Structure 1
Amino acid sequence: MVAAAGPAQAERYGQSGAVYDYATVVNVEPIVRLVTVTTPVRECWDERREYAVDNRRGSSGGATLFGAILGGVLGHQFGSGSGNDAATAAGALLGAAIGSDAARRAPRDYERETYSRPVRRCQTNYTSTEEERVDGYNVTYRYHGQKYRTRMPYDPGERLRIRVDVRPAE
């Protein structure tokens, strides 16, 4: 039996000196910081929008027709013989053009109609709140009567697994 313990002990002397053990956690303090959290809030509402439509009461068709008739009559007065038909046609065309142009330039009688319809409007506002965030933990632990401190990303609980690296002091 003694022979089996000897080689195991001899192998241990050949290792790098690192072993793992457990230490007792004495104190854990969270590292807290305040952060501002901005959250978008979309607010929507319905509102009525008005539209105006101008409808003209008269049209240029009557003025064009009147100009064509008047021009045809005047053209007929100036023509004679076979040129009479050509003068009548030319007078009618010229009278129609003048009547149409005059109707376009004349002030019109408009009727304005107003319509409204619902329109959905939305706006994004932002609300800010302050929150506490844990950035890590300051951990105090005891190993073989000595106290040590470290910073960890999590709360280790009552026991902390540690690596003990023993080397000769030179």
Structure 2
Amino acid sequence: MSAARVSMAVTGVLLAGVALAGPPRYERSASSEYDYAPVTHVEPIVRQVRVETPNRECYDEVRQVESRPHISDPEVGVRTLVGGLIGGVIGHQFGSGRGRDAATVAGAVVGAGVGYDAGARRSASVREEIVQRCEVRYEKRYEERIDGYRVTYEYNGREYTTRLPYDPGERIRVRVAVAVAE
């Protein structure tokens, strides 16, 4: 095959491919790039926050305490014994036979109880005791907290404002999207 024929065959195939492909198509995809823009103004966004701080406060309190004497206290013991004897004598006056014995025992028990209470009341003492009491009280105050920053920057002659959680400094990184307009 001659070179002229090969060249013609290749040209024919290429022309057929171009004809079948049709007119050129542009896809609508945006491509993003990054750039830096100068920051012109930064304003902190401040909010009031209520803060409660616990404070423990303690104070001394005087309390009166009644101390009951023990059975080994001589006055209480004597009054219990005398009460039991008197109760037994009074109980012995009632009933006959076994009933009299039961009445005597019951009178002695009741009399001993009355005697103990009387002795305990007489020899009971009241004393003062210092007790420390503590309470937690909350001190409430308001503080200013920075909630973010309102940032104004300039890019390509236009001014933009955004909110950021941090102060960006003198410049801010921006994303620039380029897309074909129809």
TM-score by length of 2: 0.63
The aligned amino acid for 2:148 is G
Q: CA deviation at 1:104?
A: 3.3
In structure 2, what is the Cα distance between the partners aligned to 1:98 and 1:140? 100
Q: Distance between the aligned counterparts of 1:44 and 1:91, measured in 2?
A: 62
**1:36 matched residue in structure 2:** 50
Q: Indicate the structure with greater strand content.
A: 1
- Residue 118 of structure 2: SS of its match in structure 1? coil
Aligned-pair identity (%): 40
Give yes or no for contact 1:137–1:152 (8 Å, CA) kept in 2. yes
| Number of the residue aligned with 1:115 | 127
Decide whether aligned partners of structure 1 residues 22 and 65 sit closer, same or farther in structure 2, where only a CA change above 3 A counts: same
Change in CA separation of 1:149 and 1:64 when aligned onto 2, cut-off 3 Å = closer
Structure 1: any 5+ residue segments left out of the alignment? Answer: 1-14, 72-77, 79-86
Q: Check whether the contact 1:34–1:133 (CA below 8 A) recurs between aligned residues.
A: yes
Q: Deviations over 1:63-108 (max 9, x none)?
A: 445747xx6xxxxxx9xxxxxxxx7x99677545433433434682
Distance 2:106 2:140 in 1: 70
Q: Distance in 1 between matches of 2:114 and 2:84?
A: 13
What displacement does 1:142 show? 1.2
Shift of 1:140: 0.9
What is the CA deviation profile of residues 25-62 of structure 1, one whole-angstrom value per residue up to 9, with x for unaligned ones?
Answer: 11111111222212222111222322112447343334
Matches of 1:98 and 1:146 in 2, distance apart? 109
Task: Name the CA distance, whole Å, in 1 between partners of 2:32 and 2:100.
Answer: 119
Give yes or no for contact 1:64–1:96 (8 Å, CA) kept in 2: no
| RMSD across aligned positions (CA) | 3.6
- Unmatched runs of 5 consecutive residues or more in structure 2: 1-28, 70-74
TM value normalised by structure 1: 0.67
How far, CA to CA, are the matches of 2:150 and 2:163 in structure 1? 5
- Which of 149, 153, 156 in structure 1 is aligned with 2:165? 153
